[in-house]
Structure 1
Amino acid sequence: MANEIQYQYQEDNLIKSEPNKYREEDLKSEEMVVNLGPQHPSTHGVLRLEVVYDGEVVRDVIPHLGYLHRCFEKHAESLPYNQIIPFVDRMDYLAAMNSEHVYVMGVEKMLGIADKLPKRVEYIRVLVTELNRIASHFVAVGTYAMDIGAFTPFFWLIRDREHIQRMLEWASGARMLYNYLWVGGLFYDLPVGFEERCAEFVKYLRPKLAELEGLVMENKIFIDRTANVGVLPLDLALNYGVTGPMLRGSGLRYDLRKVDGYSVYSEIDFDVPIGEGKVGTVGDCWDRTDVRVREIHESLKIIEQCLVKLTKEHKRTKEFDPQELVPKKIRPKAQDFYIRGETPRGELGFFFRADGKSDIPFRCKARSSCFVNLSIISELSKGGLIADLIAILGSIDIVLGEVDR
């Protein structure tokens, strides 16, 4: 033991006295495996990342799921179609309206009533889903800034998100898990005065977005931490099936609201922002965040157009019955059917298999954009630093309720 201590002492002194004698490549390096999460806030609660790294350089990242277990698909296969909606809310709990919209459209198309819905219903659906899209992007950008080390943007964005939460609670009665969009219509019409309050919110929010861009997107520290980090080439994004702001951040102008034109989106004028490499490389973490910020502006444009339609062309009526088209037993004819829509995180799809005899789906499968987008984290992280890994994960914007559904 004494000889070992003496040898180590001599070795340390030799390195100090003759630093040029030992070259870097002669020093042995050993890869280590470290678990990030599931308790770490930057891993979004219940995600465990198995990180293989050498020093500060990431060699591989293996995401491990299975800590939340929403069990959505098994719930859906034991309940009538109309009773599944509350479980849809609990997948992407930050954008429940958007998920509900896709689900109810699918059931309506299987029933053959999708084209019979009143225009007022369609515009209300788009109005509340775009409000929810803004609220979701507020959380995405705010928590992303906090992952990197900035607290103020998070507080400011949560403050403005609270206005949306209160409006949606006013309409649905629930704060986050709304159960507001029903098969064949809505839970009920908008409360009296909702349109006026929503217009006031749009007017309030626009100057706040300018503050957000100055505080975050133009901030030198934020740019240094995100520009040229986690670059996602377009061909790689397509090969992995990435969608939403992740795909658009890589330069492809692909948005299902434009491509499919579902609901009344084909009647509404809005743009689809894409990554342009303004401060770095197209498809980096900064571009993905920039797409989300610019999408908030586009959502405000959509909301304003919906408000015009709801207050001038499709006004509320006493005869309005949000459920008049739906049979008491929802029994689609025997078929396999897939519906998709654009949520704040990308393409959410539902596959239904109906046997034509029961009001309970024989099979219901959810295609999660969060699950698909997360699968690319290993490709984005290899060769980067551990600090960059946190920045890359935050830029993907996942919700684990939808990943581990």
Structure 2
Amino acid sequence: MAQEIRNYTMNFGPQHPAAHGVLRLVLEMDGETIVRADPHVGLLHRGTEKLAESKPFNQSIGYMDRLDYVSMMCNEHAYVRAIENLMGIEAPERAQYIRTMFDEITRILNHLMWIGSNALDLGAMAVFLYAFREREELMDCYEAVSGARMHATYYRPGGVYRDLPAQMPQYRESPWHKGKDLKRLNSWREGSMLDFLDAFTADFPSKVDEYEELLTNNRIWKQRTVGIGVVSPELAQQWGMTGAMLRGSGVAWDLRKKQPYAKYAEMDFDIPLGVNGDCYDRYLVRVEEMRQSNRIIQQCVKWLRANPGPVMLKNFKVAPPSRVEMKDDMEALIHHFKLFTEGYGVPAGETYAAVEAPKGEFGCYLVSDGANKPFRVHLRAPGFAHLSSIDTVVKGHMLADVVAMIGTYDLVFGEVDR
């Protein structure tokens, strides 16, 4: 007797731990094989673009952090660059180096979250714990410059909020940290942030080696990723893929090289490329990107040590007065309040500014009508373009491979649903 073919229509998410947010996939299946995958987005929808159009330019920087909430400062960078384009201003050189450095710190933060959560999705527990060990160290840098561990609002039109701190915060004695353990934890934190980053970047390659030891030649990992979700270079370009999704298919496109911004033109780094365009290649590309980001951070630290200077333009249209000035001058105090409540008018026009965010090209299309708030904000999120391709990519794969594919897209729904 012929075996009966069983067809299912199945909901994957939106409460699934491997959905990486509020993704609802409606899967049509022939047994365990995917016949069709229909992604339903919009369950999170925050209305970020409309909210940004109702507030002064400078009050929307914090919204950008909350889009891809694993790539916070990279999102800020695109929005701030768009404002600077319209105003015809450029941040001081030191601020540009700081932005370049923090963009790469953010890339490492993103890829550490990705490697940990993707490994967890596919059954590897330890990598998640290892990756978060390093992630916590870099989150301390976010906190040191902005006061927040995630949503920094550190980049500002005309520069950055403040210069790098001369001292890193230290761990205090607690029931969890005592004696030798406390001394070890604070050994990198006895000097400035640049000293801390010197120590971190010297140590980090050995930590990436540990992740690779657990995964790269792991038989189970390779069975779950090699030959799964193959994206050809032509398909990647047709779907508008960017970042590791495009480079994993062997296309050497990276805005940091092709359309340099900040200080990337001064940096020496390589662009890793895949060969087969499968989940395994994209894993290797992201691992190598962490090593390259580490190189860029070292170059920025070296330059920042040797070149002190201003980190904000002396342009009082966008720059607030100093605390000292406000104490002595009532006009400076009024200017401070007006700047943060009413903001500033931006010349009429339109612009598009894009950065090579950890997930791909994150762009901000901005239209100003000369008022103190944008007339139109539209954000180009890499995750939205990638997710659009899921039906084409997973068709014919097994149900478990859908989890691997969602993981390799590196989705964060704040930017997908905007």
Task: Confirm or deny: 8 A CA contact 2:364 2:377 kept in the other structure.
Answer: yes
- SS of 1:350's partner is strand
1:176 maps to which of 131, 150, 156: 150
Mapping 1:103-182, distance limit 5 Å: 103-114=79-90, 117-182=91-156
Amino acid at match of 1:54: D
Residues 330-380 of structure 1: per-residue CA shift (max 9 Å, x gap): 322221211111000001111111112x11001001011011111111111
Within 5 A, what are the aligned runs for 1:188-199?
188-192=162-166, 193-199=192-198
1:99 aligns with 2:75: yes
Residue 49 (structure 1) aligned to one of 16, 25, 29: 25
Q: In 2, are the aligned partners of 1:355 and 1:361 still within 8 Å (CA)?
A: yes
Partner secondary structure for residue 268 of structure 2: coil
Alpha-carbon offset, residue 326 of structure 1: 5.2
**Equivalent residue for 1:310?**
304
Aligned partner (choices 276, 285, 289) of residue 279 of structure 2: 285
Give the secondary structure class of the aligned counterpart of 2:194: helix
Alpha-carbon RMSD: 1.1
Code of the residue aligned with 1:64 in structure 2: it is: H
- The secondary structure found in structure 1 opposite 2:81 is helix
Contact kept, 8 Å, 2:95 with 2:311, in 1: the verdict is: no
Between the aligned partners of 2:63 and 2:244, the Cα distance in structure 1 is 25
Of 363, 372, 383, 2:376 maps to 363
The DSSP-based 3-state class of the residue aligned with 2:312 is coil
Q: Which amino acid aligns with 1:43?
A: A
Q: Which ranges in structure 2 are unaligned for 5 or more consecutive residues?
A: 167-191, 318-338
Q: Secondary structure at the match of 2:137?
A: helix
Tell me which structure has the larger Cα radius of gyration: 1
- The CA deviation at 1:303 is 0.3
Question: What secondary structure does 1:263 align onto?
Answer: coil
TM (normalized to structure 1)?
0.89
In the alignment of these two chains, the number of paired residues is 369
Distance 1:306 1:330 in 2: 31
CA contact (8 A) 1:183 1:326 kept: no
Per the alignment, do residues 146 and 80 of structure 1 end up closer, same or farther by CA in structure 2, a change over 3 Å counting? same
Matches within 5 A, 1:273-352: 273-276=272-275, 282-312=276-306, 314-315=307-308, 317=309, 320=310, 322-325=312-315, 327=317, 328=339, 329-352=343-366
Aligned residues of 1:111 and 1:332 also touching (Cα < 8 A): yes
Partner of 1:259: 258
Where does structure 1 differ by over 3 angstroms across 4 or more consecutive aligned residues?
A: none
Q: Percent identity?
A: 41
Partners of 2:76 and 2:366 in 1: how far apart?
15
Aligned to 2:395: 382
1:58-86 deviation line (CA, Å, top 9, x unaligned): 00111111222221101110111111100
Structure 1: runs of 5 or more not aligned: 1-21, 277-281
**CA displacement at 1:168 relative to structure 2:** 1.2
- TM-score with structure 2 setting the length: 0.86
Q: How far did 1:102 drift?
A: 1.3
1:215 aligns with 2:214: yes
1:398 aligns with 2:377: no
Give, in whole Å, the separation in 2 of the partners of 1:326 and 1:110.
16
